[in-house]
Structure 1
Amino acid sequence: MTPRVLLYGATGYSGRLIAEEAARRWGNMASPTRSAQLVLGARNATELGRLCRKLKLEGLELALDNRTTVVRALSGFQLVINAAGPFALTAERLAKSALDARCHYVDITGETDVYRRLDDLGFIAYQRRLVVVCGAGEVSAASDVLVDGALQELKRKGNLNPSEVGAIRIAVPRLEAQSRGSARTAIRWVREQVPVARASSADPKQPYARLQHVPIGQLERSFDFGGKKGRCIASGVALIDVMSAMRTARRREVVARTIEVYMAMNAVERSSYQWAAIASPWLNLPLPLRWSEMLADQLPEGPSPRERERDRHTVLLEIEDARLQTVIDWQLDTPNCYDFTARSVVAVAKRILCATADEIDASLRGWRTPAELLDAQALLEASPNDEMPYPFTDSSLTRRKG
């Protein structure tokens, strides 16, 4: 039987890109055979109908207000993809309903507080033999695969003992063009401190790093992004990559003393970022908060196809040993982060759908990071002349060290 997949938030900017990618990969109602039956879901019936006609896909008008109604609507699906932001309002509702309906759940959130709340659902998913993957898009999917591949590579070469990782650092450039949803997420950054992972050598019973928070502006570091971007100063930011890297390091039985995530910013942006953090108590008041959201609403819905084609994305990974010597310095260049997100989500969903019940029971059920569904080894083993494996098509991996 062809598995049924609901893409909720299909009429949003990222949702439409995911819908188009999934229709290309899986087929639509006009296809003689379909590897998965994709159904588009949204609250707005008019926009949903227009998109369904364009892509020749079925639609489901659905609000998340009533949990019983949502569970009933999801009962015929094997997997739910959530692309409906703001995820603070949709993720927990939809994830809990999906688990009640015995559906696997995948989303593209980049919001750290949402990630931590959904983390609590991992045990429920495990008991029900379901898979939950939070943050399956760029940047977290790409960085998680890099971290997983790098740790495996170091252990394979004998360059790594569990106690020898001093730091894992992930860095990304600023987005030249971003969607309204990304802008709203960035506004939330200045209302939160920066999450980092720190391990305490004073507690041998708890060797793995724990999540801590540092003030905005405290973490700054220089990274070489190569090409025209060159070396840039980057500031620590609140991205979920810290938490996915923590899980991946622990799964690989590697104790990392420090895990941090950075974003490149120019001098004006860093000053504005730090000023906004200082003013965050005032910015959190209803009137300033509404004003900042109105500014985000004035942005274009998202970058144009030409802007996406021009604005390729980069993820840097640096790993230091306990002596603070760099043992990994990798650069992954991917298509625009919105295009990569669509591919990554489709690849993660397909991997879950293709897994047998025994495979899910043995290694996939419960809370999983993207690296557990995407093949890091295939990425690392591809030669420069080979086509990179999906979803890393049109990407390139540069290993400056390691």
Structure 2
Amino acid sequence: MNNQQIMIYGAYGYTGELIARQAVAQGLKPILSGRSAAKLQPLANELDLPAIAVSLDDEDALARTLRDVAVVIHCAGPFSATAEPMMRACIASGTHYQDITGEMQVYQTAHDLDAEAKAANVVLCPGTGFDVIPTDCLAAALHKQMTSATHLTLGFDSDSGLSPGTAKTSIESLGVGGAVRRNGKIEIIPHGELTREINFGRGEKFAVSIPWGDVATAYYSTEIPNIEVYIPMSPRRAKKMQRLNKFRWLLRMNWVQNWLKGKAEQKVKGPSENQRSEQQTWVWGEVRNDRRGERRVGRVVTSNGYDVTVHGSLAVMQHLRKYDGPGGYYTPSKLCGPELVEQLPGSGKIKIGID
């Protein structure tokens, strides 16, 4: 692509605005976009950036808008509803696509569109934020150390709070359940069914499995057939999660989902810059081959999840602006290499050992 113009779609959301501000700090002049001109214009005026309001419902208009854009960073959730229209518009316009989702459904959609993206020479790389750069890069590094691994377990211990968008994504999973990968297939399991003790990097903690995006992406990155993802949680809270299983049928209903998301919109606010600067994330991973009695453990410390998302999405964008390889679906580690996480501000080196 000769044109180097970038677009941030959903720029007036909490994380979209952080990305826009950091892009300007790096000397970039992205186009700000989203559904609402009224919400876009104040930020565009403040940052002295061009703004284009366009709906995701009109694929032709969206594709025309993207025609002269090299890369779009898609930040407008819920991605279960917004990602596919944007991906298809990017394929039609010849624009590389990335987003900041953690939703497994989106990764599977991008994987399903791989052939179309290859034919259009367009890269689809969802998950270029905290979901899933650190865990995906660690998974790839662990697999490089043990290519015979049959089991991959990942997890992270974070002090970061939730943004409204992340809270809404979590609400969507309440009515579904947890998720793991078994023998290459994703399986839905009850909330809180799997627990174990894990030292993420600051001592042993009780941890519970969650339906994190790596259940999809780490398989595409490593082809390891059995994958689980964990976060630390008190046993008391885990029991509360388990009790939710009786009400999954209710939590799936649209009116309940909408009510809970409305509450999240009102009450959940993203952390301040000072709060983010004091937060870190400890990322942990384990690969095993039980038949051979082999095991390796990896860890990496990163900055808080929002700063990882901001700097990670911009790092992938810069990679795509210079990219001249084939199109198709990529995970972050497949596109940029496992060392991507180590290059982000506030990140350390990936360390792998037997414990």
The 5 A counterparts of 1:225-264 are 225-227=200-202, 230-250=203-223, 256-264=224-232
Match of 1:383 in 2: none
Question: Structure 1 regions of 5+ residues with no counterpart?
Answer: 29-37, 155-159, 200-208, 251-255, 380-387
Q: Which amino acid aligns with 1:239?
A: W
The answer to whether 1:373 aligns with 2:335 is yes
- Cα deviations across residues 295-333 of structure 1 (Å, max 9, x unaligned)? 212224311112211221221111122248563222211
- Cα deviations across residues 371-402 of structure 1 (Å, max 9, x unaligned)? 023232576xxxxxxxx52xx22212363625
User: In 2, Cα distance between the equivalents of 1:50 and 1:224?
Assistant: 45
Deviation at 1:241, TM superposition (A): 0.9
User: In 2, Cα distance between the equivalents of 1:54 and 1:125?
Assistant: 35
Match of 2:247 in 1: 279
Match of 1:196 in 2: 180
RMSD: 2.0
User: In 2, Cα distance between the equivalents of 1:183 and 1:294?
Assistant: 10
The answer to whether 1:224 aligns with 2:199 is yes
Whether the 8 Å contact between 1:104 and 1:130 is mirrored in structure 2 is: yes
- Cα deviations across residues 205-258 of structure 1 (Å, max 9, x unaligned)? xxxx2322322222111111233xx321111111111111101113xxxxx342
The answer to whether 1:211 aligns with 2:186 is yes
Match of 2:136 in 1: 144
Q: Normalising to structure 1: TM-score of the pair?
A: 0.82
The answer to whether 1:304 aligns with 2:267 is no
Q: Which amino acid aligns with 2:240?
A: S
User: In 1, Cα distance between the equivalents of 2:340 and 2:55?
Assistant: 39
User: In 1, Cα distance between the equivalents of 2:195 and 2:292?
Assistant: 17
Deviation at 1:24, TM superposition (A): 2.4
User: In 2, Cα distance between the equivalents of 1:400 and 1:2?
Assistant: 40
The answer to whether 1:397 aligns with 2:342 is no
Are the structure 2 counterparts of residues 84 and 257 from structure 1 closer, same or farther at C-alpha, using a change threshold of 3 Å?
Answer: closer
Q: Normalising to structure 2: TM-score of the pair?
A: 0.92
Deviation at 1:26, TM superposition (A): 4.2
Q: Which amino acid aligns with 1:371?
A: S
Whether the 8 Å contact between 1:166 and 1:323 is mirrored in structure 2 is: no
Are the structure 2 counterparts of residues 161 and 135 from structure 1 closer, same or farther at C-alpha, using a change threshold of 3 Å?
Answer: closer
Q: Which amino acid aligns with 2:242?
A: Q
Whether the 8 Å contact between 1:148 and 1:249 is mirrored in structure 2 is: yes
The answer to whether 1:185 aligns with 2:169 is yes
Whether the 8 Å contact between 1:189 and 1:237 is mirrored in structure 2 is: no
User: In 2, Cα distance between the equivalents of 1:268 and 1:301?
Assistant: 25
Whether the 8 Å contact between 1:190 and 1:273 is mirrored in structure 2 is: no
Question: Structure 2 regions of 5+ residues with no counterpart?
Answer: none
Match of 2:10 in 1: 9
